[in-house]
Structure 1
Amino acid sequence: MATKPKGLLDRLKAGETVICAEGYLFEFERRGYLKAGPFAPEVVVEHPELVKGLHREFAHAGSDVVLAFTYYGHRETLRAVGREDELETFNRTALKLAREVADETGTLMAGNICNTNCYNADDPQALDRCRQIFKEQTEWAVSEGADFMVAETFHVLGEALLALECVKQYGNGLPAVVTFSVSRNGLWCGNTVEEAMTALEEAGAAVVGLNCGRGPATMLPLMDKVVNKVKVPFAALPVVYRTTEQQPTMHSLISHKGSKAFIVDMDEFLCGRSMVADFGQRCKDLGVQYVGLCCGNAPHFTRTLAETMGRTPPASKYSPDMTKHFTYGTDRWYGNKSL
């Protein structure tokens, strides 16, 4: 077992940057172990060894955090695929896998709650269901040894505040990282992003920021506007897709066939590693302390981000070295050929 790492708040207070690899849903969908559409994380109970393996790969690539794969592992999603009766098994299994790998690798383990897709501020029953979802997932995370909580991908300020309220009430003092996913028209609640960040800070979030939805190119302009509007550390975790001003979110991307790319044609919009490096450098320039990558992420992208942050994770042993390529290399007898 590796040495126990410093806690999230200690690292942030010391001015350190924390890297968190996300993107489990899309990666397991690409590998053929998760169904696009419902996106229920069934791989957690059907192939737990694969989940543990991906946790290890992300830690090997430089992630400081093992994020328990409980995203969309809540009642609403599992009900949609007829597995709500396995809810606790899903969550506890995911948390145990994450805790085990975090202990092995000397990284932090985070519990994860997210958008419920049933939030309705005008419906008391919907609010009660959301509160139940956040309460039980938070309590399971506490009991399985989470170091902090990630509450993410909220489109509505009210739902994000409710999630934070539940973490504070049931989280046994765990700090909360709370992030919004901003649509092409902004947040769905009518609040500006700046207003939403400030509200979360005032409600006691340890870290606030942005995740998912937008790629680096269209998340950065929002970051420029809001990163200095709050006093707590800022989080930035874009999707790894080439979004544009005209198509600012991965959901608005149009494929080569003229139809919506989400999700089967997303690969044609994947970022290159140099784009990830450019994003990481911009985060350094802005002083963003909690950085990562969301949907579309894979270990080689996390390694690139970590190296841009000045790290040398174990995976850097295998970072590209084109000087030894038989055609493009410059060492010894290599190189100076043309293709």
Structure 2
Amino acid sequence: MATSKRTLEERLQAGTVICAEGYLFEMERRGYLQAGSFVPEVALDNPDVLKQTYRDFMLAGSDVVLAFTYNAHREKMRIIGKEDLLEPLNRSAIRLAKEVAKEHPEEEALVAGNISNTNIFDPEDPASKEQVRQMFREMVQWSKEEGVDFVNAETFYYHEEAVIALEEILRQDLPAVVTLGVMGENKMRDGLSPEESCRLLSEKGALVVGMNCFRGPDTMQPFLERIRHHVDGYVAGLPVPYRTKDDHPTFFNLPDSGCSCHLPTETTFPTSLDPLYHNRYELAEWAKEAKAIGINYIGLCCGASPAMIRAVAEATGKEAVNSTYSPDMTKHFLFGKDDSLKGHNQDYRSKA
């Protein structure tokens, strides 16, 4: 078992930090989370499943075990009628993350608390702002009490909501990673450009700023380049692994021209995105590009799999614990060129 653990800042100073996000889609894909409500009840209902998912992403190269408390805020719990489970769910998700982080055989993984967009923030309503602040305050307080290494505040499309999140993290004297989810307008919904929002968040004390979710590599990378130019500190990039393009910059409205069935929603989002994935090699190429322009905190968001995270980690020069299982076609019956395959694979190859 690992015995030492550097801080997030120490790891950033030493090189690239890999962070796996995307538990929401992964839990739904594994059959333990309801699409639609998207509340992480798995932390209470199936803790062993959540631990294994944490473990899979960590061993695939994630330096961070991100506590699965995305959408585990008071408003979401009120909607599903389980507000009494709010605190137990948050604490359970963090405790499970800490258990898994200690299993890392080389260096204990970092554990991050997690807060996110609330979907109730209204820039014209002071009462909504206070409600959001109180929701963040209690979640960050629980994170502090449970001993996280830092708090990840993510997927904000209002700059002011991101500022409130940052203030509540700093109030607990915890390091903050703050990332934005930029909608199709290509700016924050309260008017700032993503790069200006990130610059201000960095100046206000966020250790890492950047973007996550909504956009795939192709439509996130141009923003990351501008953020990197405007921000002196560390920058994060965690796209979704879907093929978003300029005419469909987010995964909310991606079309599937090959679909012939009736979809339950107007778009492929959120449960019909399967044909629109980037493959792991495309994601690895993006990771190389991100590192080359100075992105320090790299990962993937909704839709990510452990194999994708491993490809991203390896592309940045890191060897994952489970890199021992990375693809090797030398002994594949169809593609292998190993001497032990002589005499039978040539025939397969010519007729495949």
Task: Give the TM interval when normalised to the shorter protein.
Answer: over 0.9
Count of aligned positions:
336
Q: Deviations over 1:250-276 (max 9, x none)?
A: 102012348511012111111101111
> Distance in 2 between the 1:68 and 1:33 partners?
16
> Distance in 2 between the 1:333 and 1:109 partners?
45
Matches within 5 A, 1:123-202: 123-169=125-171, 171=172, 173-186=173-186, 187-202=188-203
- TM-score (structure 1 length as normaliser): 0.97
Matches within 5 A, 1:286-325: 286-325=293-332
Question: Does structure 1 retain, via aligned residues, the 8 Å contact 2:199–2:227?
Answer: no
Counterpart of 1:254 in structure 2 is 255
> Distance in 2 between the 1:99 and 1:120 partners?
34
> Distance in 2 between the 1:316 and 1:333 partners?
24
Matches within 5 A, 1:270-285: 270-285=277-292
- TM-score (structure 2 length as normaliser): 0.93
Counterpart of 1:67 in structure 2 is 66
CA apart distance, 1:38: 1.5
Where do 5+ consecutive residues of structure 2 fail to align? Answer: 261-265
Question: Does structure 1 retain, via aligned residues, the 8 Å contact 2:7–2:149?
Answer: yes
% identical aligned pairs: 47
Where do 5+ consecutive residues of structure 1 fail to align? Answer: none
> Distance in 2 between the 1:333 and 1:168 partners?
60
SS, match of residue 104 in structure 1: coil
CA apart distance, 1:122: 2.0
Question: Does structure 2 retain, via aligned residues, the 8 Å contact 1:4–1:103?
Answer: no
Q: Does 1:79 align with 2:89?
A: no
Q: Deviations over 1:288-316 (max 9, x none)?
A: 11011000101000100111111121211
SS, match of residue 246 in structure 1: coil
Equivalent residue for 2:272, pick from 265, 277, 290? 265
SS, match of residue 335 in structure 2: coil
Matches within 5 A, 1:87-126: 87-105=86-104, 106-126=108-128
CA apart distance, 1:333: 4.0
Larger mean CA deviation between 198-207 and 252-261 belongs to 252-261
Counterpart of 1:203 in structure 2 is 204
CA apart distance, 1:129: 1.2
| Counterpart code for 1:316 | S
Counterpart of 2:219 in structure 1 is 218
Q: Deviations over 1:193-250 (max 9, x none)?
A: 1211111012111110000000011111111222121011000000011111111101
> Distance in 1 between the 2:32 and 2:340 partners?
44
> Distance in 1 between the 2:118 and 2:320 partners?
34
CA apart distance, 1:325: 0.7
Question: Does structure 1 retain, via aligned residues, the 8 Å contact 2:178–2:206?
Answer: yes
> Distance in 2 between the 1:225 and 1:153 partners?
18
> Distance in 1 between the 2:315 and 2:196 partners?
31
| Counterpart code for 2:91 | R
Question: Does structure 1 retain, via aligned residues, the 8 Å contact 2:37–2:80?
Answer: yes
Q: Does 1:234 align with 2:235?
A: yes
Question: Does structure 2 retain, via aligned residues, the 8 Å contact 1:99–1:144?
Answer: no
Question: Does structure 1 retain, via aligned residues, the 8 Å contact 2:195–2:223?
Answer: no
Question: Does structure 1 retain, via aligned residues, the 8 Å contact 2:133–2:165?
Answer: yes
| Counterpart code for 2:44 | V
> Distance in 1 between the 2:37 and 2:66 partners?
20
Runs of 4+ residues over 6 Å off in structure 1:
none
